[in-house]
Amino acid sequence: MKQILILSGKGGTGKTTVAGAFIELSKSLAFADCDVDAPNLHLIIDKLSEPKKTDYYGFQKAVIKNLKCTNCGLCEKICRFTAIKNKFINIHKCEGCGLCVEICPVKAIVMSDYSSGSLMLYKNDGKVFSTAQLKMGNGASGKLVAAVKKQLSDNFIDSKISIIDGSPGIGCPVIASVSGADIVVIVTEPTVSGIHDMKRIIDTARHFNINPVVCINKFDINEENTKEIERYCDSINIDVIGKIPFDPMVVKAVNNCKSISQYPESPAGKAVKEIWNFIDKKLIKANFCKNKN
């Protein structure tokens, strides 16, 4: 099964809009939302069943056994995260380092599994959709993304490709998303921040031996910046596989919780379809993005 990952380097470029369109156009039976901090791909997927939810235990946090505690205050004194006060551990501040466990003279503190998020699995009409929601203020986002992808691979029925909507940025969830991807599509925009963050995510993908491709969303809002993107990509042997025009119909599609591919006569709908056809005919069959230098 080919993994097609959509990234952006920054938020707001249209990554999820493109990912949702790819799911519709490819008729994929397996897809995932790996933006575990703010998942929203489910909003534009039709006919979803109620998900199966399971707690995800990313790491442990400290717990004080009050009956054994002598209230010596040593743990409170040495906690660099100020998570302990008056025999109480604030789970939102505890980083799970375990120093308090080691330092406690009466062994009144133990490390306990802590649910840092929820995994969601949708299965209906032969389709499998895997996603997750990280609890606010929690870490382990990269590990949760890995769990989302494993849940997808463990449950997909029969699909030649899977579409994965990644996280914005270049941090842990993005790195976990890139692992195992066959094709990485970067959605950028012709703005100063869009260009800057596109360069960072290209470097990130290449670090993991994957040469991505780029599509430019809302290319006509600043055609000079669009030309700069094309010049830069050409200079480092990155293919720009398509350009999507600014289209008010995208706003209508988002407001109606629909994919832009469901408006095939719209300018953006036509452009996304052309991009998908290129990926399908030129990249998937050629295993284009892996190990290309």
Band (292; pLDDT cuts 50, 70, 90)? very low
- pLDDT value at residue 20: 94
Ranges in the chain annotated CATH 3.40.50.300? 2-28+159-284
CA distance 229 to 72: 61
- DSSP string across 183-230: EEEEEE-SSHHHHHHHHHHHHHHHHTTB--EEEEETGGG-HHHHHHHH
Q: Is 151 exposed, middle or buried (0-12, 13-18, 19+ CB in 10 A)?
A: buried
pTM, whole model, 2 decimals? Answer: 0.87
CA distance 20 to 45: 7
Q: For the domain 56-115, what is the CATH code?
A: 3.30.70.20
Domain formed by 2-28+159-284, architecture: 3-Layer(aba) Sandwich (3.40)
Ranges in the chain annotated CATH 3.30.70.20? 56-115
Band (293; pLDDT cuts 50, 70, 90)? very low
CA distance 61 to 79: 13
- pLDDT value at residue 284: 75
Band (286; pLDDT cuts 50, 70, 90)? low
Q: Is the pLDDT of residue 16 over 70?
A: yes
CA distance 72 to 76: 9
Q: Indicate the SS3 state at residue 22.
A: helix
- pLDDT value at residue 281: 85
> pLDDT per residue over 35-84, tens digit each?
999 999 998 887 788 899 999 998 899 999 988 999 999 999 999 999 99
Q: Is the pLDDT of residue 171 over 60?
A: yes
What mean pLDDT value characterizes the chain?
91
> What end-to-end distance do the CA atoms of the chain give, in Å?
23
